[in-house]
Structure 1
């Protein structure tokens, strides 16, 4: 099950560098490509606002 990013995202960019499969894209809030996400949780571990969680 892929991770998702909620509206609590502040678009700080911390998660992008942590994703080993480049499944996160930039925007006003960031988005995770569910098809590319491997459910590793690395992005959620570094999110300062806890905006990333399993879908």
Structure 2
């Protein structure tokens, strides 16, 4: 029984590490794209662009 719990923990940890790395890679790619095109990402999906634009507007309002 403890072996199943241990194996489940290891598998879950590896899975979430892979998900975290993929999210980091997507954000890094967006930032690189925006940097190469003077602040506007050209190759990012529209939903990702909308998400980051909404966050920028919240930061502008807070300032």
TM-score, normalised to structure 2's length? 0.28
Q: Which has the higher contact order (CA 8 A, sep 6+)?
A: 1
Larger helix share, 1 or 2: 2
Larger strand share, 1 or 2: 1
**Which is higher, the Rg of structure 1 or of structure 2?**
2
